[in-house]
Amino acid sequence: MKTIIERKGIFAVLLSSALIPTAATSQASVYAWRGELAFAPLPAGDVRAAGWLKAKLELVRDGMGGNLDRLDPPQFAYPFVRRDFEANVGGKGYIDWCAEMSGEYWLGLVELAYALGDEALIKKAGDWVEGVLALQEPDGYMGAYRPNENRLEDYNAWSCHFAYRALLVAYSATGDKRILDALERGCLWFARNWAGDKKTGYVGATILSPACRVATLTGNREILSFCEDFAAYLEKNSQRGRPGSAYGSAPGGFDTFDLHAGGYHLAALGVRMAQPLALAAAGGRSNALERIEKALSLLDKVSGVQPTGAYPGDHEHLARASCLSESEYCATIFFEELFQWLLASSGKAQYADRIERLVYNAGEGARKKDERAMTYLSSPNSLRATLDSSRWGPDPCYGVYAPNVNAACCAANSIRLYPQMLAFAVLAGADGSLAISHYLPFIARRRTSDGTEMKIEAETTYPFDGLATFRIKCDRPWKGVVRLRRPGFADGMNVARNGKPVPAEVDANGWVNIAGVWNNDVLTVDFDFRPKLIKVKDRDFQEPWRAVTMGPLLFAQRVDERWTKCPQKKNCAILPPDWSWFGVECGKDPQRYAIVPDAEGRMAKVVHPMTSDPWSSPPVGVMVPVKRASAAYPDGYSRLRHTPWPAAAKVRADLGAKEEMVEFVPFGCTALRLSCFPEAAE
């Protein structure tokens, strides 16, 4: 069977998930991408987690990932498989939030199931799929809204977009044509019932990403025309030249954005910016890549990127970078997706760099390490995560660690952080190449265009060090190109094939291309990751602050964390006794430090034993030269309700303070921490 079909301007990937048998099916998988794409991911289940990542995903499975539907059925389990429920909590009696969070949860669960290859989880995902298909109405409607509810509402399309993507993942893994047929009918329902101006300007436009994929898979022009009409609607009803409201049409048109701090819901912006790329991938409106890259450049300029890799979003709106600005977890997930779309569309390795910074810092740093709670909002400097600690959230409790604040969208989306990263670790190139974009431990299978069966086993403890080994086995010799990403934050890169050095020449897009005949080969990669001191933009201070990085990791001063169970808010589902909300406070005031001016060349990497849970027991640290600086924060600063602003003036080291070497740990290994520091003034 031909597995890659190439035509000018068209790229379709047809791959078989039977290479890794699952409990779901042994049928051929079909997963097509079209348009101006450089890369496409392999089908669900063809790349599976190994090593530390597998252990991590098993924690996710046993934590929120496999249990949110049990903890709060009306909000997570029921909306798409039964509509006879009362949304008394979370959704406050309405379907909108419950539909959204249910769609987010099941997309995460389906991705998790195939990332692990877990038979029980795959069955659970399959049961949900069967329930969704059984509930589809004769006119094609396949969603959570009941007949007496407004199906023209923005959140109907928003929630369906998640559910339809979950079904597409299941279809990718199984090739079950019933799923594709149901999706086609579901998308046609929107095409016919949301025709003309019966569209919305907020997040309803996200229905385009699954609809464009379905149009590609089925060849249905009516669905693609609907997507193109939606783009025209957004242009016609744009907010160009006017300040954008937080919950309304995005400031700008369809693929251009007029951005300013405070002007738009940050998470919605991330997911909206991906829709033009989805339409272009279906062979629709062109030049989307150029416009979205321009919009992203504008976003970087208007907002600035936090040292965690996240964008700041005070009050969930676009903000400007600050060591105290809070980032919503949903935005972390949606910008991860946007960078994946940009990676696939452009072929530029720099977007994989941005994914890793975001995942390993902002993403991991907001999760309880047993995966049974997370914080909706987090910031680079944080000394309190309690019921009243959030300075910028919709509710002060959104800083607490919990599985279910009343809008549990962030908890639902957190399940997807690693599975969707893993899905983009191995990519099929439009030119027939194989690209390794993330250095995760995995086992992957791929069938090439000439029918060669490939197996790639990746052994690595990256991002905690820079060494990775790839064992590539083919059932017959394959002549082709293997691409290895050269991370932009690496100071050097050594590559060897079967023990012999390979020139690590990097192309314009950031890849090392190794051509040849592959059969039973071993590739080893060793990156030179050195501790670095970076300048941190902060809206509150004229003098730049400093942060410590090494490779993709941000490092932080670890503080004494005191975890205590705390009561839930009344508008949330009551948890069983073995689940809880947690407040986290400092057991004692952290020592106040300023980084010495010449620290850059004197920081040193520290190596500890690697474990199966490296985010709980960090295998790497950085020794940083600092001086005590009491002027940086007021006395008793960790006991204040909010993490306080540091001193606005230049911070001088304490009189007579001697230089100390203090070990910083990866940001993702902490719940409370300081990661942005003043430079000790002379």
pLDDT tens, position by position, 150-172: 999 999 999 999 999 999 999 99
Predicted confidence (pLDDT) per residue in 554-564, tens digit: 999 999 999 99
pLDDT of 328 strictly over 50: yes
Distance of CA 500 to the CA centre of its chain: 36
> Can you give the pTM of this predicted structure?
0.94
Overall size of the chain counted in residues: 682
Residues 6 or more apart in contact with residue 192 via CB below 8 angstroms: none
pLDDT of 469 strictly over 90: yes
pLDDT of 333 strictly over 90: yes
Q: Which helix (H) or strand (E) holds 166?
A: helix 154-174
Pick the more confident residue, 3 or 478.
Answer: 478
Look at 47-56, 549-558, 593-602 and tell me which has the smallest mean pLDDT: 593-602
In degrees and rounded to multiples of 5, residue 421 shows phi and psi of: -65, -45
pLDDT of 92 strictly over 70: no
Rounded to whole angstroms, how far apart are CA atoms 606 and 558? Answer: 15
Predicted confidence (pLDDT) per residue in 414-465, tens digit: 999 999 999 999 999 988 999 999 999 999 999 988 889 999 999 999 999 9
- Give the confidence band of 35 by pLDDT, cuts at 50, 70, 90: low
- Give the confidence band of 74 by pLDDT, cuts at 50, 70, 90: confident
b/e map 92-113, b = 16+ CB within 10 Å: eeebbbbbbbbbbbbbbbbbbb
Pick the more confident residue, 491 or 681.
Answer: 491
For 182, the 3-state DSSP assignment is: helix
pLDDT of 617 strictly over 90: yes
Residues 6 or more apart in contact with residue 16 via CB below 8 angstroms: 1, 3, 28, 29, 43, 447
Q: What percent of the chain has pLDDT above 70?
A: 90
pLDDT of 139 strictly over 70: yes
Token pair in block for residue 445: 């299978």
pLDDT of 655 strictly over 80: yes
Amino acid symbol at 315: H
Pick the more confident residue, 350 or 537.
Answer: 350
Q: What percent of the chain has pLDDT above 90?
A: 75
Rounded to whole angstroms, how far apart are CA atoms 64 and 213? Answer: 29
For tokens 């589902």, name the residue: 573
126, 435 Cβ separation under 8 angstroms? no
Q: Which long-range contacts (CB under 8 A, 24 or more apart) does 180-184 make?
A: 180/30, 180/214, 180/217, 180/218, 182/132, 182/133, 182/136, 182/142, 183/142, 183/210, 183/214, 184/214, 184/218, 184/220, 184/223
pLDDT of 36 strictly over 90: no
- Give the confidence band of 573 by pLDDT, cuts at 50, 70, 90: confident
Average pLDDT over residues 297-312: 94
Distance of CA 401 to the CA centre of its chain: 19
Predicted confidence (pLDDT) per residue in 375-409, tens digit: 999 999 999 999 999 998 888 999 999 999 888 99
b/e map 448-469, b = 16+ CB within 10 Å: bbeebebebebebbbbbbbebe
In the chain, count H helices and then E strands: 16, 27
Predicted confidence (pLDDT) per residue in 179-224, tens digit: 999 999 999 999 999 999 999 988 999 999 999 999 999 999 999 9
Rounded to whole angstroms, how far apart are CA atoms 593 and 529? Answer: 25
Can you give the pLDDT at residue 87?
A: 61
Predicted confidence (pLDDT) per residue in 233-285, tens digit: 988 877 654 544 444 556 677 888 877 776 788 999 999 999 999 999 998 87
Amino acid symbol at 420: Q
Rounded to whole angstroms, how far apart are CA atoms 416 and 231? Answer: 27
Average pLDDT over residues 309-324: 92
- The mean pLDDT value of the chain amounts to 89
